């Protein structure tokens, strides 16, 4: 079941739907209903997703609708989002999607921005990377809980950025 979610403050672009979580390899995902998929358009689409559950502790997660061979989209659910809502494969779930106005751009941690700002060409090098590379770097920096560990990660991240773009492994 899918519906417009045009409630107060939610934006008329939001869509709410119910689905059952299933596994693809180690990943968990849901199939997006045809009418929701059509509302977002074709191709890979950056979205914000939240789980509607009394147990869900987190807010929205940044992700993408991934096109399927049959038409429509699949939505992969990040482990953090699933764990905060207490859902796994086989569970029914109610999701709320809205377009990501930033097109999948991650929110850069202020401490990373400050550290790269003092390095000549630091921000330019970071911004030359793909959004996926930037998201991975942001996740690396934000993972630790302690302030000291985050400081260490910021220093490591600056070194990684200044080494240049990551080399892709050939398959």
Supply the CATH number for residue 25's domain.
2.40.30.100
Q: What is the pLDDT of residue 136?
A: 87
Q: Are the C-beta atoms of residues 136 and 166 closer than 8 Å to each other?
A: no
Q: Are residues 47 and 119 in the same domain?
A: no
Q: Are residues 146 and 64 in the same domain?
A: no
Confidence of residue 168 (pLDDT cuts 50, 70, 90): low
Asked, for residue 78, whether it belongs to a domain, the answer is yes
Examine the pLDDT at 66 and tell me if it is beyond 90.
yes
Q: Are residues 86 and 119 in the same domain?
A: no
What is the 3-state secondary structure of the chain? Answer: CEEECCCCCCCCCCEEEEEECEEECCEEEEEECHHHHHHHCCCCEEEEEEECCCCCCCCCEEEEEEECCCCCEEEEECHHHHHHHCCCCCCEEEEEEEECCCCCCCCCCHHHHHHHHCCCCHHHHHHCCCHHHHHHHHHHHHCCCCHHHHHHHHHHHHHHHHCCCCCCCCC
Tokens of 164: 């240049």
Number of domains forming the structure of the chain: 2
Q: Are residues 92 and 158 in the same domain?
A: no
Q: Are residues 72 and 28 in the same domain?
A: yes
90: containing domain: 2-99
Mean pLDDT computed over every residue of the chain: 85
Q: Are the C-beta atoms of residues 56 and 85 closer than 8 Å to each other?
A: yes
Q: How many CA atoms lie within 13 A of 56 on its CB side?
A: 19
Q: At which of 55, 79, 99 does a domain end? A: 99
Examine the pLDDT at 91 and tell me if it is beyond 60.
yes
Q: What is the pLDDT of residue 56?
A: 61
Q: Are residues 92 and 39 in the same domain?
A: yes
User: What pLDDT, in 10s, does the model give residues 128-165?
Assistant: 888 778 888 998 998 888 999 999 999 999 999 998 76
Q: Are residues 67 and 126 in the same domain?
A: no
Q: What is the pLDDT of residue 105?
A: 78
Q: What is the pLDDT of residue 85?
A: 85
Asked, for residue 8, whether it belongs to a domain, the answer is yes
Mean of the pLDDT values across residues 31-38?
94
Asked, for residue 10, whether it belongs to a domain, the answer is yes
Least confident range from 46-50, 63-67, 78-82: namely 78-82
Q: Give the whole-number percent of the chain exceeding pLDDT 70.
A: 85
Q: At which of 72, 99, 126 does a domain end? A: 99
Examine the pLDDT at 79 and tell me if it is beyond 80.
yes
Higher pLDDT, 58 or 141: 141
Q: Are residues 131 and 59 in the same domain?
A: no
Higher pLDDT, 92 or 59: 92
Q: What is the pLDDT of residue 135?
A: 84
Q: Are the C-beta atoms of residues 30 and 72 closer than 8 Å to each other?
A: no
Mean of the pLDDT values across residues 70-81?
90
Q: At which of 99, 133, 150 does a domain end? A: 99
Q: Are residues 46 and 117 in the same domain?
A: no
């Amino acid at each position: 079941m899918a519906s417009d979610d045009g409630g107060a403050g939610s934006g008329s672009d939001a869509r709410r739907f119910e689905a059952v979580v299933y596994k693809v390899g180690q990943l968990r995902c849901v199939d997006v209903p045809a009418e929701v998929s059509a509302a977002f358009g074709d191709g890979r689409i950056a979205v914000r997703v939240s789980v509607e559950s009394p147990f869900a502790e987190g807010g929205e997660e940044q992700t993408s609708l991934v096109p399927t061979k049959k038409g429509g989209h699949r939505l992969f659910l990040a482990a953090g989002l699933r764990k905060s809502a207490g859902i796994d494969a086989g569970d029914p779930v109610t999701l709320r999607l809205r377009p990501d106005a930033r097109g999948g751009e991650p929110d850069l941690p202020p401490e990373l921005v400050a550290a790269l700002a003092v390095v000549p060409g630091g921000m330019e090098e970071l911004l030359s990377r793909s959004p996926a590379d930037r998201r991975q770097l942001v996740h690396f920096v934000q993972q630790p809980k302690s302030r000291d560990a985050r400081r260490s990660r910021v220093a490591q991240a600056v070194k990684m950025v200044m080494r240049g773009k990551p080399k892709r492994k050939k398959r």
